[in-house]
Amino acid sequence: MNIRIIIRIAGIILLCEAALMAAPVIVGLIYHEPDSVIAFLITMAVTAAVGLAMFFLNRSHGQVFQREGFVIVTAGWLLISIFGCVPFVISGSIPNVVDAFFETISGFTTTGASILSDVEALSNSMLFWRSFTHWVGGMGVLAFVMILAPLLGTRNNYLLQAETPGPESDKLVPKARSTVKILYGIYFGMTLVLVLLLMAGGMSLFDSLIHSFGTAGTGGFSNYSDSVGHFRSGYIEMVIGVFMLLFGVNFKIHYFLLLKRKLSILKNEELITYIFITVFATVTIMVSIFRMFPSGWEAFRAAFFQVSSILTSTGFSTANFDIWPQYPRTLLLVLMLIGACAGSTGGGFKVARLVLIAKAAKRGVNRLVHPKAIKAIRMDGKTVDEIVLSNAGVYLILYIFIMVISVVILSLDNVTFEENLSSVTACFNNIGPAYGAMGPVGNYGGLSILSKLVLSFDMLAGRLEIMPLMILLLPGDRHLR
């Protein structure tokens, strides 16, 4: 493994993070928060110094292969989370280091799981930074770095593959960097439209930025304890609900629809399944919670918003869905596991993989009846390569392993089984709120350090889709050069 090039690129990532911290500094200056501004400035200086040192002490040029790509991605995400949590610690907003790390990694991985019991106590610049990490993490930190700095010429697609894996990697245009630019362009444009729509609904600029970041990255951090429910506005709930779903769609579809005007892309099987799941869940949940709300419209509002928020792995809430009947609670947990579309900012197992696995299972059963049958699996009219199928299977196995091991470790903390399973699910799939103490009105602050670290690992594993972290654990592949 070429450790020098890894350190060098990690240095570039830190430099970019230092640059990103200029945003909360500006917010701090606007709202006259000298303590927070100083905390950010100190962190910026330290991050930039470490980044520069890592960049310049390793002048050797080497090549990035698959393995280096995976290590860089994992190390990059860990490093930005470690340095990203420093402002919280220095300013005393979140004095405990593990808590601050949990909060930051929850931000970058767009989970939105919080350890804060009183969000509103944080300064505006801290709140801004917390939500800003969602926005950056949503589209990918390395992808962001790639726009700022042309990393490594032609070899950078290993990095992109490692960060945005999905079942099948599709570039929109031949160059990785151009693809990233297009994706970030769409992302930025959609975020901007959302900000304007929210402001039109009466939100302040600051609130609308915070909630747009949370929606765009499908993160879910809000600056109010009662999340989006705080605004008590049907308009805002519908706008955010629809946009969460939009950000949960594969960006390839946005690209072809918005920029290429190709309507045939709407026949995409994943998209159809995704819409079907949304409609089915919304309707059935609405029926089951109908009696809890004064009118049908309000029941629909609550059901639609919660389905959209959970399926896309955002984790905003307008109502405490933890007190809903068992059917919606169970269904929401299932939606957590499914997640959004591949190639979106959302987390979870991804609808595309689910469709693939279902097709493979159907073929497996079919094979019992016709043992000699050869049948290729097709998706969107194209044959799916057997390696892609096998990878989806491997992913499912690892997904279950990690869930099981995490649940077992968390049980040491003596939480109820429901809290345990739901919080592992909510973190691993980058949702945020779970049930019980970690529910929409609760937080993760009460857990032990071990549990918090395990959940942090789950969040990262979920965001990077497991494989990059597994490479680090493979014994034979850690040789350093």
Partner 1 sequence: MKIIVVGNGKIGSLISEQLVQEGHDVVAVDTQERVLRSLQSRLDLICINGNGATAKVLTEAGVMDADLVLSVSEKDELNLLCCLIARKLGAKHTIARVRTPEYSEQMDLIKNDLGLSMIINPDLATAQEIFALLRYPNVISVEKFSKGKFELAEMLIEDDCLLTQAPLHTIMANHGFRALICTVRRGSETFIPNGDFQIQKGDVISLSAQSEVMEEALKAAGIKSRVPRKIMIVGAGRIAIYLMEMMQKIGMNPTVIESDLERCRDISIRFPNALVIRSDGTEKETLFEEGFTDTDAFLALTGTDEVNILLGMNAINYDIQKVFTKISRNSLLELTESGEAGTVVSPGRIIADRVISYVRATATAGHGDVEALYHVANGTAEVVEFGVVSHNPRLINIPLKDLKLKKDLLVCCIIRNGKALIPGGNDMIMEKDHVVVVTVNRRLKSLDEILK
Site residues for partner 1 per CB under 8 A: 66, 153-158, 161, 169, 171, 173-178, 385, 387
* CB closer to partner 1 out of 211 and 252: 252
Q: Are 345 and 143 in contact (CB under 8 A)?
A: no
Quick one: 36 or 250, whose CB is closer to partner 1? 250
The whole-angstrom separation of Cα 323 and Cα 431 is 18
Residue labelled with tokens 């077992």: 408
- Give 74 or 161: the residue with its C-beta nearer to partner 1: 161
Q: Which residue lies nearer to partner 1 by CB, 32 or 175?
A: 175
Token pair 């190390």 is found at: 75
Residue 476 C-beta: closest distance to partner 1, Å: 20
Smallest distance from partner 1 to CB 324, Å: 46
Q: Which string of DSSP letters, residue by residue, matches 310-330?
A: HHTT----SS-GGGS-HHHHH
- Of residues 61 and 175, the one with the C-beta less far from partner 1: 175
Supply the angle between the helices 34-56 and 124-139 in degrees, to the nearest 10.
40
Closest to partner 1 by CB, 173 or 474: 173
Q: What is the DSSP letter of 255?
A: I
**CB of 364: closest distance to partner 1 in angstroms?**
22
Q: Which of residues 69 and 229 has its CB atom nearest to partner 1 in the complex?
A: 69
Instruction: Give the residue with the Cβ less far from partner 1, 157 or 164.
Output: 157
Structure token pair of residue 257 = 């629809």
State the residue for tokens 């709930």.
Answer: 237
Q: How far is the CB of 389 from partner 1 (least distance, A)?
A: 13
Name the nearest CA neighbour of 39 among 82, 99, 91.
Answer: 91
For tokens 């930190």, what's the residue? 141
CB of 169 to partner 1, least distance (A): 8
CA distance 142 to 76: 8
CB of 11 vs partner 1, minimal distance in Å: 22
Least Å distance, CB 336 to partner 1, is 32
263 exposure class (CB count in 10 Å sphere: 0-12, 13-18, 19+): exposed
Q: CA-to-CA distance for 219 and 426, rounded, in angstroms?
A: 12
Nearest to 42 by CA among 9, 87, 82: 87
| 193: number of Cβ within 10 Å | 14
Task: Give the nearer residue to partner 1 in terms of CB position, either 100 or 172.
Answer: 172
**Phi and psi, residue 382, nearest 5°:** -120, 145
Query: What is the rounded distance in angstroms from the CA atom of residue 76 to the CA atom of residue 160?
Result: 13
Cα–Cα–Cα angle for 230, 205, 110, rounded to 5 degrees: 65
